[in-house]
Amino acid sequence: MKVGVLAVQGAFAEMAAYWRAQGAETFEIRQLADLERDIDQLALPGGESTVQGKLLHDLGLFEPLKERIQRGMPVFAVCAGLILLAEKVEDDGGRTGVRPSQWFGVLPVTVRRNAYGRQLGSFRTVGTFYGKPDVPMTFIRAPSITTVSPEAEVLSTFNGEPTAVRWRNITACTWHPELNT
């Protein structure tokens, strides 16, 4: 499997290492020419979603990636990657808005940015993911998933709230599995 890791900002090196540990071949997506390579799956790492969204547009990557996602390319997203995919995003003050121009808006969930606190509020726990118990989960300035479409499947929870979802070709986590390998 060839996983293209978005490498414009954030924890892309850790995401690539995670996929290599799973036996995948990885390469970084930094510019439009990188999309000419064969890609079986896209990985969207944690980082700063606003910066990632701006760079996706500035580098001409936004529309080609959105088209591939909408056509069914498998996507695995973490933290900021989840925010990029969400249909609706609440800001830190709880206001909700659809931001189709900045983010992909293709995953039928609402997320709240920085819901688990700032950097100093980061923490680790264990939970069940894809039915597997005792999976380590690292939350770093993580968003929360506040609403999930009935068509989406919740894959993990923390304190009763969804922390990972799957919908069609998209799997997305609020926490960082790439930091637990």
* pLDDT tens digit sequence for 87-111: 999 875 555 554 546 789 999 999 9
Q: How many domains does the structure of the chain reveal? A: 1
pLDDT value at position 57? 94
Give the pLDDT mean for 125-145.
90
Instruction: Show the beta-strand stretches assigned E in 16-143.
Output: 25-29, 41-44, 75-78, 86-90, 96-97, 107-112, 123-129, 132-139
Range of the domain at 151: 2-179
pTM: 0.92
Cα angle, residue 26 at apex, residues 4 and 109 outer, rounded to 5°: 40
Cα separation, 140 vs 86, in Å, equals 18
* pLDDT tens digit sequence for 51-79: 999 999 999 999 999 999 999 999 999 99
Of 164 and 140, the one with more pLDDT: 164
CATH number of residue 107's parent domain: 3.40.50.880
Mind telling me the catalytic residues? 79, 176, 178
